[in-house]
Protein backbone atom coordinates (compact mmCIF):
# COMPACT_ATOMS: atom_id res chain seq x y z
CA UNK A 1 0.00 0.00 0.00
CA UNK A 2 1.36 3.39 -1.06
CA UNK A 3 1.32 6.38 1.30
CA UNK A 4 -0.22 8.86 1.63
CA UNK A 5 -3.74 7.53 0.99
CA UNK A 6 -6.96 9.49 0.44
CA UNK A 7 -9.00 10.00 3.61
CA UNK A 8 -12.78 10.42 3.48
CA UNK A 9 -14.03 11.87 6.80
CA UNK A 10 -17.71 11.01 7.28
CA UNK A 11 -20.36 11.09 9.98
CA UNK A 12 -20.35 7.29 10.10
CA UNK A 13 -18.13 4.35 11.00
CA UNK A 14 -17.15 1.67 8.48
CA UNK A 15 -16.08 -1.76 9.74
CA UNK A 16 -13.96 -4.36 7.95
CA UNK A 17 -16.09 -6.76 5.87
CA UNK A 18 -18.94 -4.22 5.69
CA UNK A 19 -20.26 -2.45 2.58
CA UNK A 20 -20.78 1.29 2.37
CA UNK A 21 -22.84 2.85 -0.46
CA UNK A 22 -22.09 6.55 -0.99
CA UNK A 23 -23.52 9.36 -3.09
CA UNK A 24 -20.65 11.55 -4.31
CA UNK A 25 -21.39 15.14 -5.33
CA UNK A 26 -18.39 17.28 -4.32
CA UNK A 27 -15.76 17.76 -7.04
CA UNK A 28 -12.88 16.92 -4.69
CA UNK A 29 -14.37 13.52 -3.89
CA UNK A 30 -15.09 12.85 -7.55
CA UNK A 31 -11.35 13.39 -8.08
CA UNK A 32 -10.62 11.05 -5.19
CA UNK A 33 -12.84 8.32 -6.66
CA UNK A 34 -11.18 8.72 -10.07
CA UNK A 35 -7.70 8.47 -8.52
CA UNK A 36 -8.55 5.40 -6.44
CA UNK A 37 -10.31 3.51 -9.24
CA UNK A 38 -7.56 4.21 -11.77
CA UNK A 39 -4.78 3.21 -9.36
CA UNK A 40 -6.62 0.50 -7.37
CA UNK A 41 -5.91 2.47 -4.20
CA UNK A 42 -7.89 2.19 -0.97
CA UNK A 43 -9.85 5.00 0.65
CA UNK A 44 -9.52 5.58 4.37
CA UNK A 45 -12.98 5.98 5.89
CA UNK A 46 -12.81 7.80 9.23
CA UNK A 47 -15.44 9.18 11.57
CA UNK A 48 -15.35 12.98 11.78
CA UNK A 49 -13.95 14.18 15.10
CA UNK A 50 -14.30 17.88 14.34
CA UNK A 51 -15.78 19.71 11.36
CA UNK A 52 -18.33 18.88 8.67
CA UNK A 53 -18.60 16.46 5.76
CA UNK A 54 -19.07 19.28 3.25
CA UNK A 55 -16.71 22.22 2.85
CA UNK A 56 -13.32 22.67 4.51
CA UNK A 57 -11.09 19.81 5.67
CA UNK A 58 -12.64 17.95 8.61
CA UNK A 59 -10.52 16.42 11.37
CA UNK A 60 -10.97 12.62 11.47
CA UNK A 61 -10.42 10.12 14.27
CA UNK A 62 -7.05 8.39 14.02
CA UNK A 63 -8.53 4.89 13.70
CA UNK A 64 -10.59 4.11 10.61
CA UNK A 65 -11.12 1.42 8.00
CA UNK A 66 -9.43 1.05 4.63
CA UNK A 67 -11.96 0.29 1.92
CA UNK A 68 -11.87 -0.41 -1.81
CA UNK A 69 -14.36 0.83 -4.37
CA UNK A 70 -16.21 -2.22 -5.69
CA UNK A 71 -18.63 -0.37 -7.99
CA UNK A 72 -19.07 3.14 -9.36
CA UNK A 73 -21.71 4.62 -11.67
CA UNK A 74 -22.38 8.08 -13.07
CA UNK A 75 -25.68 9.90 -12.65
CA UNK A 76 -27.15 12.25 -15.26
CA UNK A 77 -26.56 15.25 -12.97
CA UNK A 78 -22.83 14.53 -12.73
CA UNK A 79 -22.91 12.90 -9.30
CA UNK A 80 -21.62 9.39 -8.60
CA UNK A 81 -22.92 6.31 -6.82
CA UNK A 82 -20.17 4.13 -5.37
CA UNK A 83 -19.87 1.17 -3.04
CA UNK A 84 -16.91 0.72 -0.73
CA UNK A 85 -15.97 -2.62 0.86
CA UNK A 86 -14.21 -2.34 4.20
CA UNK A 87 -10.97 -4.36 4.43
CA UNK A 88 -8.54 -3.45 7.22
CA UNK A 89 -8.35 -1.04 10.10
CA UNK A 90 -5.72 1.69 9.97
CA UNK A 91 -4.21 4.36 12.17
CA UNK A 92 -3.35 7.83 10.90
CA UNK A 93 0.30 8.77 11.48
CA UNK A 94 0.21 12.19 9.82
CA UNK A 95 -2.41 14.18 7.92
CA UNK A 96 -1.41 15.56 4.52
CA UNK A 97 -3.04 18.61 2.91
CA UNK A 98 -1.48 18.64 -0.59
CA UNK A 99 -4.59 17.53 -2.51
CA UNK A 100 -8.14 18.89 -2.86
CA UNK A 101 -9.21 16.09 -0.51
CA UNK A 102 -7.58 15.05 2.75
CA UNK A 103 -4.78 12.45 2.68
CA UNK A 104 -2.69 10.78 5.35
CA UNK A 105 0.31 8.64 6.10
CA UNK A 106 -1.21 5.57 7.73
CA UNK A 107 -0.29 2.34 9.48
CA UNK A 108 -2.36 -0.69 8.55
CA UNK A 109 -3.67 -2.56 11.59
CA UNK A 110 -4.29 -6.30 11.69
CA UNK A 111 -7.86 -7.59 11.87
CA UNK A 112 -6.66 -10.59 13.85
CA UNK A 113 -7.18 -10.75 17.61
CA UNK A 114 -6.06 -13.19 20.28
CA UNK A 115 -7.98 -16.36 21.10
CA UNK A 116 -10.53 -15.48 23.81
CA UNK A 117 -11.76 -17.56 26.72
CA UNK A 118 -14.23 -20.19 25.56
CA UNK A 119 -16.91 -18.95 27.95
CA UNK A 120 -16.77 -15.43 26.52
CA UNK A 121 -16.80 -16.72 22.94
CA UNK A 122 -19.85 -18.85 23.76
CA UNK A 123 -21.59 -15.90 25.39
CA UNK A 124 -21.18 -13.76 22.27
CA UNK A 125 -22.33 -16.64 20.03
CA UNK A 126 -25.39 -17.34 22.17
CA UNK A 127 -26.36 -13.67 22.32
CA UNK A 128 -26.09 -13.34 18.53
CA UNK A 129 -28.23 -16.48 18.12
CA UNK A 130 -30.82 -15.09 20.54
CA UNK A 131 -30.99 -11.80 18.67
CA UNK A 132 -31.34 -13.56 15.32
CA UNK A 133 -34.16 -15.65 16.78
CA UNK A 134 -36.14 -12.71 18.16
CA UNK A 135 -35.64 -10.72 14.94
CA UNK A 136 -37.08 -13.62 12.95
CA UNK A 137 -39.97 -13.95 15.40
CA UNK A 138 -40.73 -10.23 15.14
CA UNK A 139 -41.25 -10.73 11.40
CA UNK A 140 -43.24 -13.91 11.85
CA UNK A 141 -40.43 -16.31 10.99
CA UNK A 142 -38.73 -19.14 12.86
CA UNK A 143 -35.63 -21.31 12.51
CA UNK A 144 -34.37 -24.25 14.51
CA UNK A 145 -30.79 -22.97 14.67
CA UNK A 146 -28.73 -19.96 13.64
CA UNK A 147 -25.20 -19.88 12.21
CA UNK A 148 -22.50 -18.06 14.17
CA UNK A 149 -18.88 -17.53 13.22
CA UNK A 150 -16.19 -19.46 15.12
CA UNK A 151 -13.31 -17.09 14.34
CA UNK A 152 -13.34 -14.46 17.14
CA UNK A 153 -12.96 -11.39 14.92
CA UNK A 154 -15.43 -12.67 12.33
CA UNK A 155 -17.89 -13.31 15.16
CA UNK A 156 -17.56 -9.73 16.40
CA UNK A 157 -18.15 -8.40 12.90
CA UNK A 158 -21.14 -10.73 12.52
CA UNK A 159 -22.63 -9.21 15.67
CA UNK A 160 -21.85 -5.69 14.50
CA UNK A 161 -23.46 -6.31 11.09
CA UNK A 162 -26.56 -7.74 12.78
CA UNK A 163 -26.92 -4.62 14.92
CA UNK A 164 -26.22 -2.19 12.06
CA UNK A 165 -28.84 -3.85 9.85
CA UNK A 166 -31.59 -3.60 12.46
CA UNK A 167 -30.85 -0.79 14.92
CA UNK A 168 -29.52 2.74 15.25
CA UNK A 169 -26.32 2.89 17.34
CA UNK A 170 -24.48 6.13 18.24
CA UNK A 171 -21.30 6.74 16.25
CA UNK A 172 -19.33 7.09 19.48
CA UNK A 173 -20.20 3.49 20.41
CA UNK A 174 -19.32 2.25 16.92
CA UNK A 175 -15.97 4.06 17.08
CA UNK A 176 -15.21 2.46 20.46
CA UNK A 177 -15.94 -0.94 18.93
CA UNK A 178 -13.67 -0.21 15.97
CA UNK A 179 -10.81 1.00 18.15
CA UNK A 180 -10.95 -1.90 20.62
CA UNK A 181 -7.93 -4.15 20.16
CA UNK A 182 -9.03 -7.29 22.01
CA UNK A 183 -11.98 -9.65 21.87
CA UNK A 184 -12.67 -8.95 25.54
CA UNK A 185 -12.95 -5.19 24.96
CA UNK A 186 -15.03 -5.60 21.82
CA UNK A 187 -17.34 -8.02 23.63
CA UNK A 188 -17.71 -5.58 26.52
CA UNK A 189 -19.08 -3.02 24.09
CA UNK A 190 -21.03 -5.42 21.88
CA UNK A 191 -22.84 -7.72 24.33
CA UNK A 192 -24.84 -4.93 26.04
CA UNK A 193 -25.87 -3.61 22.61
CA UNK A 194 -26.99 -7.07 21.50
CA UNK A 195 -28.80 -7.65 24.80
CA UNK A 196 -30.59 -4.29 24.59
CA UNK A 197 -31.52 -5.10 21.00
CA UNK A 198 -33.10 -8.36 22.14
CA UNK A 199 -35.22 -6.46 24.68
CA UNK A 200 -36.36 -3.98 22.02
CA UNK A 201 -37.37 -6.72 19.59
CA UNK A 202 -39.09 -8.70 22.37
CA UNK A 203 -41.14 -5.63 23.24
CA UNK A 204 -41.99 -5.04 19.58
CA UNK A 205 -42.99 -8.69 19.13
CA UNK A 206 -45.17 -8.59 22.26
CA UNK A 207 -46.86 -5.39 21.03
CA UNK A 208 -47.61 -6.83 17.60
CA UNK A 209 -48.56 -10.29 18.84
CA UNK A 210 -50.00 -9.85 22.36
CA UNK A 211 -50.68 -13.04 24.30
CA UNK A 212 -54.31 -12.94 25.37
CA UNK A 213 -54.25 -15.88 27.76
CA UNK A 214 -56.45 -19.00 27.72
CA UNK A 215 -59.94 -18.76 26.28
CA UNK A 216 -62.86 -19.35 28.64
CA UNK A 217 -64.20 -21.80 26.08
Domain map (residue ranges) of the chain = 5-109, 118-208
Contacts of residue 154, Cβ cutoff 8 Å, sequence gap at least 6: 17
Interatomic CA distance for residues 139 and 133, integer angstroms: 10
Shortest CA distance to 14 belongs to which of 171, 130, 145, 132? 171
Neighbours of 106 (CB within 10 A): 24
pTM: 0.80
The DSSP letter of residue 133 is H
Instruction: Give the residues of the chain that fall short of pLDDT 50.
Output: 211-217
Fold of 5-109: 2.30.130
Tens digit of each residue's pLDDT (9 = 90 or more) over 94-149: 999 999 999 999 999 976 677 788 899 999 999 999 999 988 887 777 767 788 98
Amino acid sequence: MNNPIPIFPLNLVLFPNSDLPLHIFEDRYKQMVEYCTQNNEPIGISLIKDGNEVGDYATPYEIGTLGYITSASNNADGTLEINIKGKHKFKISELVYNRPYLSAEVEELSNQIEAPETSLLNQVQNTIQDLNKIIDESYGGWAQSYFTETDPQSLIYQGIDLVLQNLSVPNSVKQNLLESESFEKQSRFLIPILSESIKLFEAETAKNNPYMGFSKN
